[in-house]
């Protein structure tokens, strides 16, 4: 059984004594004037992060845990140059599974199992036996399913929280179903399978045990490459999977960023791949703007400047327009 | 009552004698070795275009009609350097309304009145009285409605045929309705009105009486600017139209190309404007790719290279994939 | 009668007591350790800005004024972490017209009325009656003229001060006159009217009552779009204004940024529009570089790096070269 | 035993009668004035291509072969509008293996077996057992080795001939060896294996049986994606292959185009990947420029304008400089 | 004394016999069916170009002249495939100076000596002795002055005719004088000298004896580099020329294209260099648009599409607007 | 004889008294509350920089030295707001040559004389007498050779230390020799001379007496322009230097940045110039990445984000991969 945290970073006040679980976000060794070493540490949970120092027992505590580990920290909360700072007495690594990981990372507000059930239900309407076999092979891997329910869709920008990938994937599948019904001649099944697998490489591109970051593999290969590895190997194990259908599904992964400059080795070359790229852009853009609007409260009408999208967004919007 | 053409350019053979209606697409004066003038002319209808020469009665025929006019042409079909060529006997301007304009331009396969009825029905679900007043003011202008039913959406690329603007607008309105239902917090009414008016400036940007071309106004101002003029004047005539709602609707027109480099003076700054830009891109892109696939039959699997989209498209697609 | 400020932000010293007019530039609520709220405020005038805190009577003071209001502030000047900080006792909104607005924003060193007279004199040389009617209709709107004399030309970068738009417009008109005389075949009247109206949309794009900022309308539509609205409506009210002349004047507004990527829906397509774009670039660039050189005194020879223009400018320049 | 061609396209003259092997490059059906069908065909060999028509026995000949097939053509050489044209009597498909494929495509001037032996010798100097196992697994696939010896490196631009991929790969391996020796701290083995496998996906991206073209798989996935599939599967079959070493090798494939805009999902992130990208650019650029210089003889000093590289190259060069 | 041409290419008719001077624009050897060689030649003068063939005496005629030479051609005018074609009897090289070079290249409509006098008069107003010494050193080189009066300003695009560089330079100097008077604080002398020397490298970048083309030096170094060489050497020979003034003048040359992407190694970093770049752009753009408008008569209102400027220009313009 | 520093900035502790040599990196006048002036100064050496204040004797000390001068500073080390700060008692300018300049700037770890000897030895293998004369003329200028041994190759990014230009040049010459041997048909002599002179303009573009910065000349003209001036003047003094060879050598300088956007007025147009550009990129890139990896120790596997190269680099690399 996992233990829960009692107190979160955002709630700390000067004078508090704490003995609780946090992620060890950063650590570095420094030296005092007298030449003796001390440790700077930053610890974090889903509510934020705080700096601390270790004055005593430095070598043992330095060796107790690695960056990214969940640790039990005993400390007092002080102030230094106008900000709260911990004076840390002890740091102990915590066995995996001992704590609820959801205390350390922000999470989707929606239930992952329910989202997965809706996803499976939507995909059960597919008729092509090879595509069904491909999905079944994925669902038959319990580790993959577990990670799929938990993975974020990104480190920043959109759906950057536990369960974000499932939320993004499900939204895209449902939107794909609507758009496939709007235009005649679109292969609904290829489009929907494309929506399911397009970001599957993110299961290995990102680590999200205690904080969201890129893996070595992710930084070196990208989720598009990893997704191709995963789907290629799965398809190769299905007897008689038609070659062209395989190429079309892989093309959905390869081209879903829309152009080379955004990391797709080839641009979309089928109607379905063109649509998947737009559906991905719509869903990630809408989520990104909403999160940005929600996080920003300095001005009632306009958000701050969004560096990546290079504009401010209007929040006053339709409601205040008397609609 | 209008008269119909009997024969189309695509059906001409050497030796034919014709006496029929065409558009005068080009004309230029040249001189024979003996110093006497002759006329080069190109005439066209919706099936194609053909060159011709006028040897006799040159000054009178030269003055008979202007480029873009519908003319009655009497000629014989000959051959010159391996291609068919007309020897033109007479050219007479034809009064407007005397001929069916649809003989001269390709047209949507769908009925414009039915499309317009579906558009109005979709918009009748709106509740905001000012938006209803705006739409009513547009529909109350019979000349505008006539042009809306007839205008193409572009000179090339997508929906470049009579009725194309109505087809494109209706498709966008229906898609907007679906997407507004997919995401909570989207102002459906602003989005749908934006879909109706986003390209309304094309009614004056393009001329499409006998061939599709840009007007002087269109080339100098662009359909975004003209659309703003039209909607601003209409809104200004509605008592009490809320300022912010007016700005939001105009913003849909201003920003619908998505970024400055594509001709929008401001990028989309509301969720609704972001969605409208994607819906416009999806609908024009899908139409453009389909038209390009349909027009191309050199290779069963791949289209020719699409210069603007910088790729070939795969036609073999899903069907041949055994789905 | 308006009252004047007695003291400016740039002159404050620790220990001063003040009771004077300022612009409320920012405010935000925070909480003390004991849970009670306090207010952070920034107040400003044309000489600079300073932070302050409100410890007492917080709810009433928080409600007393909005960002952008001119307020009467009673406070003492203290120090906090090495910088001056106000401890604010009271904040009271001030009725419009009670204070001289020029105390709060930097202003052109030149007299607005004189500049406007020179502008009118230059335009009185025009002969085309429709262009004269257009100018007359603009000058007949006293509110427009008032704003024209007062508006800045930008929020930052160039002529970003009260009277800046008039200064920029007049300079462009005079330069346009010279260049129209240099090249034969240039329509001097279209060029000079273009210079007058090209930025007229800035009257509504920017607010500059107490600080320069974009309006909602400005951010959603851009001054190009607003300028088109203003000039279109004005022209529409002039009987018999020639269509082509109207399009040419509007084209000057539409194209004056020179290319789509800089916000013009169409690039310049007449000699006059090409010249107007260059004249605008020259005048804004020269003003921007001079202001940047004047504001910078860290190094005698070179300015700091100009982020937008991506270079340092050489100040040593010709004089030190012994010319 | 294969048969050889007797005559090549470049050597045909009007009046010749031919009965020889060619590639069927294009075919399309057309109709005569009398409504009867005829066939347009283009046939080719490594010396060039020529158009022809089939007047008789059209349906049978139309069905005899597909584009890309080697065919036996019986025809007479005539002239039509100033160019040679075949009148084709019969077309018969030829069994694979019956003809020497090298008659139909240009080929490297170097011996493929010798190049492969040099490549293997260079790689035999590697010490890492897993990298040796990876290479061995590739060489153990006789089909892969055959294709490696025969494949071109591109459809156009550089090494676009039979054996071109081997020539390009060997040159890169030898250059990589030199550069690895020039800089300390470079992992020579990772760099050299990267040089061997970086373009291995071209074995499936391109078809080069009778003419060089992209495969469906190549156009949909790109050689980078295909190379990842091939190397991933090979590595997965080697017991204990270190994960990080696998990622580093795959990263060489993923990043070898240098940036996303050139089709690499990730840019080079190790010194070895940075070097591989430069070595690839140098070798393909040098080959491309030399081929372009050699093919061009219009002017003694300068080549024609190279559209992709956007410049003319100077041929007069060093020699005429008296060096 | 030079001889003049009697007949120009534009005036030739079938059946004419000619014996006159032309530029040998192109020549290439070909072979007849019987294996004997013949020559294809293109000859030109300032009115246009025409193709021809040499059937007899081929080796001698082939050796008689090089591309770019002025030659005396004896020929008859025939027709081949619908176009005029010469059958050339003899070709003889002509000694330099024997013919008037102005027969072979289009020329400015203005008198070069008069333009040069105006240029010198404008520059005589300068007061700085070092700048006067620099100009004097240039004018003291009679070869340089001759070339300055004759050189075109470009191969294409603007002022691409004999005398074009003088016309362009004079126009810029006069415009620079006006603009220097418009803005206070501009160093008029540096600006005007910059206008004189900015393109001086074109004297060696371009050859324009019989046709305008780039020299080897021009293609390898660019006129900016060559201009620096020329001005640096001239300044180095003037005793006591101030270092900073020298750098400022050279900076005018270096930066006059405005940015690196247009070939300037450094962007303008003084007000004078910023102005020179705009003056150069205005003068070359205005000339380019006018030449393009003048050459184009297919449509009364709009020019053809200008590939480099990526737009059509409106010719109807102000006049038709009733101004 | 020069004196050496006793203590370096990086070794200072609060309470120290110093009396030693530093570079005066920055100085600015400020005023105390009582209206009296004080001086802020920053002093530096090759180990880092530190701020200080001068309270007494301000006018004399302010006038004692200029930014960039080496000064003798007498001061005590205190703390201010958590950082060390000097209270400076006296500042005295130091005669040039009195101190070892290498105390103030980081330097290559390699011996400049040895590197120069290797460079000369490599170039002694050249056979062309004019190229030998060019090199000899450079080596005969002792001032040039001194600066060549001492100059950095850049202000930042790569080889940004004393001796960096020699290190970079020698590495390129040796690499050029290897690559010239790899490809037949490359003019080894032109390539190697190009490597020697390509950055020679940096001798005047950069100042590096006590800190590395751009000179006025460097910022106004760029090292490409200056290099052309230097090599042009040198070549002009060699009797009979072939024109084309001169152009080819100058072209190596002009084009070595590879494209206009990177500051080359012309792109590489010979094989040798193409290779020189790649060799320059490889050598500067490898050095830049290594320096960046070495300076960064926050994370064992990945560097920080490199802003210019827009990525993180993988440090774990090959070694940890078990190679």
Distance CA C243, CA E89 (A): 61
Distance from the Cα of F137 to chain C's closest Cα (Å) equals: 32
Q: Which residues of B touch C260 (CB under 8 A)?
A: 260-263
SS3 C54: strand
Instruction: Tell me: pLDDT of A146 over 70.
Output: yes
Q: Which chains touch A (3 or more CB pairs under 8 A)?
A: B, C, D, F
pLDDT of residue D304: 86
What letter does residue D126 receive in the DSSP assignment? -
pLDDT of residue C319: 41
Closest partner residue to C314 (CB to CB) among F28, F81, F220 is F220
A298/C28 Cβ within 8 A: yes
Residue B31 binned pLDDT confidence (cut-offs 50, 70, 90): low
Q: Which residues of E touch F266 (CB under 8 A)?
A: 219-222, 225, 263
Phi/psi-derived region of residue B24, left when phi > 0, alpha when psi is between -120 and 50, beta in every other case: beta
pLDDT of residue B1: 60
pLDDT in tens, D52-90: 989 888 888 888 888 788 899 999 998 775 568 899 999
Q: What is the CA radius of gyration of chain F?
A: 23
Inter-chain contacts counted by CB atoms under 8 A, chains C and E: 123
Cβ atoms of residues C58 and C88 within 8 Å: no
Q: Which residue has the higher pLDDT, F128 or C303?
A: F128
pLDDT of residue A81: 57
- State the average pLDDT over residues F20-32: 81
Pairing of strands E70-80, E83-93: antiparallel
Residue C35 binned pLDDT confidence (cut-offs 50, 70, 90): low
- State the average pLDDT over residues A249-278: 97
Distance from the Cα of D76 to chain E's closest Cα (Å) equals: 17
Distance from the Cα of C218 to chain B's closest Cα (Å) equals: 9
Task: Report the length, in residues, of chain C.
Answer: 323
* Most confident stretch, A86-100, C186-200, E39-53: C186-200
- State the average pLDDT over residues A286-310: 86
Closest partner residue to A33 (CB to CB) among F13, F82, F302 is F13
pLDDT in tens, F113-162: 999 999 999 999 999 999 999 999 999 999 999 999 999 999 888 898 99
Q: Which residues of C touch A82 (CB under 8 A)?
A: 81
pLDDT in tens, D84-141: 889 999 999 888 778 877 788 888 889 999 999 999 999 999 999 999 999 999 999 9
* Most confident stretch, A278-287, B92-101, C37-46, F74-83: A278-287
Q: Which residue has the higher pLDDT, A184 or F299?
A: A184
Interface test with B, best of D156, D216, D261 (most B CBs within 10 A): D216
B314/D216 Cβ within 8 A: yes
Distance from the Cα of F214 to chain C's closest Cα (Å) equals: 11
Percent over 90 (pLDDT), chain E:
61
Cα B293-B294-B295 angle, rounded to 5 deg: 95
State the average pLDDT for chain A: 90
Lowest-confidence region among B111-120, E57-66, F29-38 = F29-38
Q: Which residues of B touch C231 (CB under 8 A)?
A: none
Pairing of strands A213-214, A206-207: antiparallel
Instruction: Tell me: pLDDT of C183 over 80.
Output: yes
Q: Which residues of A touch F13 (CB under 8 A)?
A: 33
A317/B245 Cβ within 8 A: no
User: Are A and E close enough to touch, i.e. 3+ CB pairs under 8 angstroms?
Assistant: no
**C44 alpha-carbon distance from chain centroid:** 17
F interface residues, E as partner, C-beta within 8 Å? 216-217, 219-222, 224-225, 228-229, 232-233, 236, 243-244, 247-248, 250-251, 254, 260-266, 269
- Please report which residue ranges of chain F form alpha helices under DSSP H: 58-64, 112-123, 129-139, 142-150, 164-182, 188-197, 202-205, 216-236, 243-255, 271-295, 317-320
Low-confidence ranges of chain D (pLDDT < 50): 318-323
Distance from the Cα of C107 to chain A's closest Cα (Å) equals: 27
C221/B247 Cβ within 8 A: yes
Interface test with A, best of C83, C214, C216 (most A CBs within 10 A): C216
pLDDT of residue E103: 86
D175/F182 Cβ within 8 A: yes
Instruction: Tell me: pLDDT of B217 over 50.
Output: yes
With 0-12 / 13-18 / 19 or more C-beta atoms within 10 angstroms meaning exposed / middle / buried, residue D142 is: exposed
Residue A47 binned pLDDT confidence (cut-offs 50, 70, 90): confident
Distance CA E295, CA E298 (A): 10
D interface residues, E as partner, C-beta within 8 Å? 13-14, 82, 298, 301-302, 312, 314, 316
Closest partner residue to C216 (CB to CB) among A13, A82, A316 is A316
Closest partner residue to B323 (CB to CB) among A189, A274, A312 is A189
Distance from the Cα of D310 to chain E's closest Cα (Å) equals: 13
CA distances from B286 to A182, A238, C91, E36, E147 (A): 11, 33, 59, 58, 59
- CA quadruple A199, A201, A206, A209: dihedral sign: positive
CA distances from E115 to A226, E110, E112, E122, F283 (A): 69, 8, 5, 11, 51
E298/B28 Cβ within 8 A: yes
D236/A233 Cβ within 8 A: yes
Nearest CA in chain A to C32: A13
Distance CA C272, CA C193 (A): 10
| pTM of the complete model | 0.89
pLDDT in tens, B137-171: 999 999 999 999 999 999 888 898 999 999 999 99
- State the average pLDDT over residues A117-143: 97
Q: Which residues of C touch A298 (CB under 8 A)?
A: 28
Distance CA A200, CA A219 (A): 15
Percent over 70 (pLDDT), chain B:
93
Q: Which chains touch B (3 or more CB pairs under 8 A)?
A: A, C, D, E
- Please report which residue ranges of chain B form alpha helices under DSSP H: 58-62, 112-123, 129-139, 142-150, 164-182, 188-197, 202-205, 216-236, 243-255, 271-295, 317-320
Q: Which two tokens stand for residue E209?
A: 């004896």
pLDDT of residue F319: 41
pLDDT of residue C98: 83
Low-confidence ranges of chain E (pLDDT < 50): 318-323
F interface residues, A as partner, C-beta within 8 Å? 13-14, 82, 298, 301-302, 312, 314, 316
E321/C245 Cβ within 8 A: yes
Closest partner residue to A301 (CB to CB) among C28, C81, C216 is C216
pLDDT of residue B35: 59
Task: Say what angle helices C243-255 and C129-139 make with each other, to 10 degrees.
Answer: 60
Nearest to A154 by CA among A210, A114, A214, A105: A214
Lowest-confidence region among B138-152, B268-282, F14-28 = F14-28
pLDDT of residue A100: 79
Distance CA D122, CA D140 (A): 17
B282/A179 Cβ within 8 A: yes
Instruction: Tell me: pLDDT of A234 over 70.
Output: yes
pLDDT in tens, C100-134: 877 888 888 899 999 999 999 999 999 999 999 99
Instruction: Tell me: pLDDT of B122 over 50.
Output: yes
Q: What is the CA radius of gyration of chain E?
A: 23
Closest partner residue to F301 (CB to CB) among A33, A81, A216 is A216
Percent over 70 (pLDDT), chain D:
93
Q: Which residue has the higher pLDDT, F297 or B308?
A: B308
- State the average pLDDT over residues F278-300: 89
Distance CA B87, CA E96 (A): 51
DSSP of D16-70, one letter per residue? -EEEEEEEEEEEEEEE-TTS-EEEEEEEEETTEEEEEEE-SSHHHHHHH--TT-E
pLDDT of residue A82: 56
Q: Which chains touch D (3 or more CB pairs under 8 A)?
A: A, B, E, F
pLDDT of residue E58: 85
Q: Which residues of A touch F296 (CB under 8 A)?
A: none
Distance from the Cα of B184 to chain C's closest Cα (Å) equals: 23
Contacts of C317 (CB under 8 A, 6+ apart): E187, E248, E270, E271, E272
F312/A216 Cβ within 8 A: no
Strand partners, A107: A162
pLDDT of residue E99: 84
Closest partner residue to B33 (CB to CB) among E13, E82, E301 is E13
pLDDT in tens, B201-214: 999 999 998 888 89
C28/A14 Cβ within 8 A: no
pLDDT of residue F320: 40
Instruction: Tell me: pLDDT of A200 over 90.
Output: yes
pLDDT of residue A102: 78
- CA quadruple A185, A190, A193, A195: dihedral sign: negative
A232/D269 Cβ within 8 A: no
Pairing of strands A48-54, A83-93: parallel
């Amino acid at each position: 059984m996992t233990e829960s945290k009692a107190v979160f970073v955002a709630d700390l006040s000067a004078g508090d004594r704490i003995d609780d679980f946090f992620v060890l976000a950063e650590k570095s060794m420094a030296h005092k004037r007298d030449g003796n070493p001390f440790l700077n540490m930053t610890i974090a949970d889903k509510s934020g992060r705080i700096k601390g120092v270790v004055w005593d027992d430095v070598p043992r505590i330095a060796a107790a845990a690695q960056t990214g580990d969940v640790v039990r920290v005993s400390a007092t909360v002080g102030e230094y140059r106008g900000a709260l700072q911990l004076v840390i007495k002890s740091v102990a690594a915590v066995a995996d599974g001992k704590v609820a990981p959801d205390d350390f990372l922000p999470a989707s507000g929606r239930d992952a199992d329910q989202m997965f059930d809706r996803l499976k239900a939507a995909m059960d309407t597919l008729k092509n036996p090879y595509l069904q076999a491909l999905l079944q092979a994925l669902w038959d891997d319990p580790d993959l399913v577990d990670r799929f329910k938990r993975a974020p869709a990104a480190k920043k920008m959109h759906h950057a929280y536990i369960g974000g990938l499932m939320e993004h994937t499900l939204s895209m599948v449902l939107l794909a179903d609507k758009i496939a019904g709007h235009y005649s001649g679109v292969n609904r099944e290829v489009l929907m399978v494309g929506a399911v697998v397009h970001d599957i490489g993110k299961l290995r591109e990102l680590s999200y045990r205690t904080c969201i970051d890129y893996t070595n593999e992710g930084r070196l290969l990208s989720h598009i490459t990893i997704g191709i590895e995963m789907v290629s190997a799965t398809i190769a194990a299905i007897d008689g999977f038609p070659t062209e259908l395989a190429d079309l599904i892989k093309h959905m992964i390869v081209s879903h960023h829309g152009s080379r400059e955004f990391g797709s080795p080839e641009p979309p070359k089928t109607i379905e791949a063109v649509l998947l790229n737009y559906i991905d852009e719509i869903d990630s853009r809408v989520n990104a703007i909403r999160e940005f609007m929600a996080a920003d409260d300095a001005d009632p009408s306009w958000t701050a400047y969004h560096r990546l999208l290079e504009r401010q967004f209007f929040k006053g919007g339709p409601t205040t327009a008397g609609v």
